Structure 1
Amino acid sequence: MFFPPFCMPPSTESRRQYQRYKLEMMKAFRDSLETRLAAVNAAISTVEQQISQEGE
């Protein structure tokens, strides 16, 4: 089995694989943040509604 030395630049295919992995990780991170943001927005809306109902 051949192991290239560490000083060799990565192959084009390994770079593409890393870029695909990185993209999938960033998409998963974004989806998680969007879910959390939706929950926070819903909580804010609920509290705003409760405040406006108390004022009536």
Structure 2
Amino acid sequence: MYRRETVLRSTLIGWSLAVAICLLWTPAFSQTIIDEWNTVKVPPAPELKSVKIDPKGTAL
């Protein structure tokens, strides 16, 4: 029974450390929107097309 408790405790400590490292490590590499503002690629403007309105089928 002692061996089983040791294994469970070691596993719990290992997973706890892994989760803590992942949570603390992630913000170190993230940037804010202000830092990325100049690198954003704007999509091209949509093409303008002429529109024909049918007075019988269009309600304005």
Give the TM-score taking structure 2 as reference length: 0.50
Going by fraction, where is helix more abundant, 1 or 2? 1
CA separation in 1, counterparts of 2:21 and 2:37?
Answer: 26
Structure 2, unpaired ranges of 5+: 41-60
2:39 is aligned to 55
Alignment pair present for 1:32 and 2:17: yes
How high is the TM-score relative to the length of structure 1?
Answer: 0.52
How many angstroms does 1:51 deviate by? Answer: 4.4
- Could you tell me the percent identity over the aligned residues? 8
Residue by residue over 1:30-55, the C-alpha shift from the partner in whole angstroms, topping out at 9 and shown as x without a partner, is 1111111001211232x3x2641343
Within the candidate set 18, 27, 37, 1:42 is matched to: 27
Unpaired runs of at least 5, structure 1: 1-15
Q: How many residues align?
A: 39
CA RMSD of aligned residues (A): 2.1
- Alpha-carbon distance in 1 for matches of 2:8, 2:17: 14
Please say which structure displays the higher CA radius of gyration. Answer: 2
